[in-house]
Amino acid sequence: MNKTSTLIFLFFTIIIYGQEPNATSEPSNAFILTPEVLIGITGESNTDFPYRTLQTQYLINFGWNHLNTTQEWAKRLKYPRTGLSIGYTDFGNKRFLGHAFSLLPFMEFNGFKKERFKVHVGTGLSYFNKKYDFTDNFFNRATSTDLTWSFRLFAYYNLFPSETIDWRIGAGYAHHSNGHTRLPNQGYNSFLVSFSADIKSASKIKNINNLEPIALKKSISDYYLIHLGAGINSLSETFSDKTEVYTISGEYGKIINNTFKLGVGFYYRFYQNYYDYINNNESLVQEGREYDYLKKNPFWNATNFGLTVNGEILLNHIGIDVQFGFNIHKPAYRVDWTLNQGYGVVPTTINEDHGGEFALGELDAYYQLKRLVSARFGLKYYFIGSEKKSNYDFYVGTFINSNFGQADFTEMSFGYIHKFNFEER
């Protein structure tokens, strides 16, 4: 990740907690402090991954229950908890895996329509003190950057709820990845169990189940959206320079109850590293080699376009955006896969007789799946916000894009949305 995306993310973190106006003279949100201890398994990121003992994590979660809010999104979502997790992780091998410090905004919902069950989703940043190094840490190929994206998905159960402290157990999954900004980037995948305590503030405490139902009118409107983005990624370990990915995309769809956005769209992308590899006549595109036909039109073959299905949760100024796509055209991905999905470090000059020091990736069925399916996940900040119900808005965003779950590039963006045909029932 670069400095720009880090600053945008921290800006979002501040805004999430500053966008809620007080409805009364009392605090609008009940504050909850949750210390948490976790233990679990760090999965193998690659062959010959370093030996490790059990992973341990220590978190402090700062949360707010939006019980007195005047904002529609909180009422529609049944008063979720939002907050910020600050954490330390020991991966079980201080010499080669080291530790990480994490900062993750989160949202927590009731699960299974029961207040004692919680579903927790968080995404943010982590700093690692150990990373891949060709000489000193070759077998830790999980990440090659100091900063990574972080994600956690957990389920909790309140063992002993009370008015002041809820003792909880939980289990879930944690992931770290640098968004393909530098390779190797196999990522950390961890499975953990948790013990925590919700320590509630002394301010007026309310039980969600005892709140009086609030009548909300149903609403629906159409929208279209134009999105311009610039991302960064690296082609391979030897072609490791960070280069740009330029994106243009559009959507059309429906906004339901001023909270849920569903649409379909398209995207167009240009990968600078694909273009450079083809235009510089590197090994795999040289005359008589596997992909020499890509040189007939380097610019066209370095592009990618496809169709999307988009979903978003609108939290006034903040949007949590998920996109699934289908690639219609991405020919240079063959080069990407061939360089990265074999074994060993593939050199810049690839001789056909290389003595088995490395192997190139094969275009198998898994490649076909990765080539066809794309996805994007990220956060948006809307300048006007959904509560004002304006017919138009502008946003900035930061996203991680992937090929069927494997990171492709990290993106910063600017967009415009126009809403029309508003109906309230």
pLDDT in tens, 104-122: 999 999 887 788 999 999 9
Are 181 and 267 members of one domain? no
pLDDT in tens, 65-106: 887 777 899 889 988 999 999 999 999 999 999 999 999 999
> Which of 179, 210, 241 delimits the end of a domain?
210
Q: Classify residue 42 as exposed, middle or buried by CB count within 10 Å of its CB (0-12, 13-18, 19+).
A: buried
Are 304 and 337 members of one domain? yes
Average pLDDT over the chain reads 89
Are 100 and 179 members of one domain? yes
Residue 154: pLDDT over 70: yes
Instruction: Concatenate the DSSP letters of all residues of 207-242 into one string.
Output: -GGGSPP-----EEEEEEEEEEEEEEE-S-SSS---
Secondary structure letter of residue 49 according to DSSP: P
pLDDT in tens, 12-58: 555 555 455 444 434 445 789 999 999 999 999 998 999 999 999 99
Task: CATH number of the domain at 298, please.
Answer: 2.40.160
> Which of 156, 175, 210 delimits the end of a domain?
210
Q: Are 209 and 55 in contact (CB under 8 A)?
A: no
Task: CATH number of the domain at 73, please.
Answer: 2.40.160.20
Domain that holds residue 125: 3-210
Residue 184 neighbours by CB distance under 10 Å: 23
Q: Which long-range contacts (CB under 8 A, 24 or more apart) does 355-362 make?
A: 361/337
Residue 349 neighbours by CB distance under 10 Å: 9
Query: End-to-end CA distance of the chain, in Å?
Result: 45
What type of residue is 206?
A: K
Q: Are 303 and 245 in contact (CB under 8 A)?
A: no
Helices (H), 189-340: 272-279, 298-301, 333-340
List % helix, strand, coil for the chain (3-state, nearest 5): 15, 50, 35
Are 295 and 330 members of one domain? yes
Are 199 and 259 members of one domain? no
Are 205 and 229 members of one domain? no
Residue 23 neighbours by CB distance under 10 Å: 11
Find how far residue 406's CA is from the centre of its chain: 11
Find how far residue 115's CA is from the centre of its chain: 27
State mean pLDDT over 255-275.
Answer: 97
Are 237 and 115 members of one domain? no
State the total domains in the chain: 2
pTM of the model: 0.88
- More confident position, 104 or 343: 104
> Which of 210, 234, 257 delimits the end of a domain?
210
Are 36 and 163 members of one domain? yes
The two three-digit tokens of residue 247, written as one number? 């994106």
Are 175 and 303 members of one domain? no
pLDDT category at 327 given cuts 50, 70, 90 is very high
- The per-residue pLDDT for 5 is 53
- The per-residue pLDDT for 24 is 42
- The per-residue pLDDT for 20 is 52
Residue 261 neighbours by CB distance under 10 Å: 23
Is cis: bond before 21, omega within 30 of 0? no
pLDDT category at 352 given cuts 50, 70, 90 is confident
What is the C-alpha to C-alpha distance for residues 172 and 151, in angstroms, rounded to an integer? Answer: 11
Are 240 and 366 members of one domain? yes
- The per-residue pLDDT for 419 is 97
Are 200 and 266 members of one domain? no
Q: Are 65 and 32 in contact (CB under 8 A)?
A: yes
Least confident range from 15-24, 165-174, 228-237, 354-363: namely 15-24
Are 195 and 309 members of one domain? no
